[in-house]
Structure formats: structure tokens, C-alpha cells
Amino acid sequence: MASEENDASSGRLLLAESDVVGQVIVSEEDLQSRIIELGAAITADYQGRPPLLVGVLKGAFMFMSDLSRAIDLPAEVDFMAVTSYGSATRTSGVVRIVKDLDLDLLDRDVLVVEDIVDSGLTLSYLQRYLLARQPASLEVCALLVKEGQQRTALDLRYVGFTIPPDFVIGYGLDVAERYRNLPAIHAYTGPES
Ligand code: IMP
Ligand code: MG
């Protein structure tokens, strides 16, 4: 019978040792310290006008959880869920809204919380959609941006990390709904699907 400590670490190893979980791209430590910095910047920028944080499900759920706790303002939180058509690892840019917002955006200072910007097509669609709701301001905080992949000009107010243009998993990001619960960002080394 393994000790409790071994049980805990072997549970994590079972996940990390699958054949699709590659090297760490952004460590748990680096994620957490950068999120503290982003939270401090947002706190300073939004003094006197607490933001409405709009998380994009499912990928941003973990980032939203950590980022919102790093913001020292009476922020509000809402979520929308979108799916973009395409293969498992490539977006088509055609976005379907699966769950809409509960809160009204009119005259609110809206900050979109996104997991990752690849082609930028999803975000550019969302920005147009949200601007139509007439917020006072609309900015984006993206945890990850893939270098050199954007097919549309985007104004990203806050960016956590710029990463190479390879598919990644973990910290909310999935492949076929798995690996969202890894605490770090890893390379995906499975078959292209
Ligand atoms: P875009 O429209 O090409 O910018 O892709 C945006 C969405 O595709 C993101 O919000 C993610 O949900 C998903 N995505 C893009 N790249 C990755 C990745 O490397 N891993 C997991 N999901 C990704
Ligand atoms: Mg997403």
C-alpha cells in the first residue's frame, strides 16, 4: 500500500505520463506569478470603474478563477460559451454561441477573459458581438497568444504569455475535452485529429 503522498503524486503522474502530454510550455509557477501581475495591472487600470469580467468557456474557466482572485476591485463575473467549428486542433472561425451572457453589457466596462488566441477569429467574432451590446469599454485579457498566427488585427490590452504556434493543453485547454485539469500548459504530442 503506497503512502498518501505517493498516492497523490501518482495520480498526477498518471495524467502527465499519457502519450499526449508533452513538455511544459508554461509552468504552474510562471502562470501563477504572471496572473498576479495581470491582476495588479487590471486593478490599477480599473480604479473607480470595476470591470465586468466575461469568461469564454470552457477554456478560460481556470484562468478566470485565478485572475478574478488577483483583481482587488468589486468586479462582476459572467460567462459565455462558444464553439468554433473545425477539426480538434484547428478553428474554422465560424463561431456558435452555446451559452449567452446573463448580465447586461450596456455602459459596463467589459473585460473579456480568454484562454488562448490562435488565428484570432474567435475573438474577433466575439468582439463584434459584444460591442453590439454597447458597453462603455471593451478590452481583452488573453492568457496565451500564439506567435505569428493571427489572421486578423486584434487589440489585446493584456497578454499573459506569447508562445510558439504549436497546439497546447492544460490549465483549461483541452483536446477532445481532456487535459483541462493539468495545472500547467503542456505541448500536445498526440496524433493530429
Ligand atoms: P482562434 O479562433 O484560432 O484564435 O482559436 C481560438 C480558440 O481555439 C481558443 O479559444 C481555444 O478554445 C481553441 N484553441 C486554439 N489553440 C488551441 C490550443 O493550442 N489548445 C487548445 N485549444 C486551442
Ligand atoms: Mg476558447
Q: How far is the CA of 60 from the centre of ligand 2 (A)?
A: 7
Q: How far apart (Å, rounded) are the C-alpha atoms in residues 127 and 1?
A: 54
Q: How far is the CA of 161 from the centre of ligand 1 (A)?
A: 14
Residue minimizing CA distance to atom 19 of ligand 1: 167
Instruction: Indicate the helix (H) or strand (E) that contains 176.
Output: none
CB neighbour list of residue 71: distance below 8 Å, 6 or more residues apart: 39, 42, 43, 46, 51, 53
User: Residue 10's pLDDT is what?
Assistant: 45
Structural domains in the chain, CATH included, are 25-84+94-173 (3.40.50.2020)
User: Residue 91's pLDDT is what?
Assistant: 66
Q: Would the CB of 121 count as within 6 Å of ligand 1? A: yes
Q: Would the CB of 160 count as within 6 Å of ligand 1? A: no
Per-residue pLDDT of the chain (193 residues; tens, 9 = 90+): 444 444 444 456 677 778 899 999 999 999 999 999 999 999 999 999 999 999 999 999 999 999 999 999 999 999 999 887 666 666 666 788 999 999 999 999 999 999 999 999 889 999 999 999 999 999 999 999 999 888 878 899 999 999 999 999 999 999 999 999 999 999 999 876 5
Residues noted as catalytic:
118
Q: How far apart (Å, rounded) are the C-alpha atoms in residues 175 and 52?
A: 29
Atom of ligand 1 nearest to the CA of 114: 10
Nearest to 109 by CA among 130, 80, 91: 130
Ligand closest to 55 (CA) is: 2
Ligand closest to 98 (CA) is: 2
